[in-house]
Amino acid sequence: MSLKRTNVYADPEDLAIIKEAAIRRGVPEAEIIREAIHLAALASRVWDEPLDWPTFDGSEEPITGEAIADAVVSGSEKGLLEDRDR
């Protein structure tokens, strides 16, 4: 992949964080900046077709924290019973 040179203005505090991260990760600062540019490009991309996300049957009502807790407890109890029966 060929790269194109560009100039950007960046906040000095951000550059200091990038410098520290580059030292910690053992990579050039430019690599971190290229990664950030790539992520920004992906986040800004417009797709020609909608993504085919899986759908689930349900009431379309938000699930409450209590319902989640009940499901976790129920699944945990089921797993404990299955382990006991082995």
Which pLDDT score is estimated for 57? 78
Cβ–Cβ < 8 Å for 28, 22: yes
Number of domains observed in the structure of the chain: 1
Q: Helix, strand, or coil here: 77?
A: helix
Which pLDDT score is estimated for 13? 98
pLDDT at residue 85 is higher than 70: no
The answer as to whether 50 is a domain residue is no
CB neighbours of residue 18 within 10 Å: 17
Report the C-alpha gap between 20 and 14 in whole angstroms.
10
The answer as to whether 65 is a domain residue is no
Which pLDDT score is estimated for 48? 86
Domain that holds residue 28: 12-44
Closest by CA to 33, choosing from 45, 17, 55, is 17
24-81 pLDDT tens trace = 999 999 999 999 999 999 999 988 888 787 777 777 788 889 988 988 888 887 776 6
The answer as to whether 85 is a domain residue is no
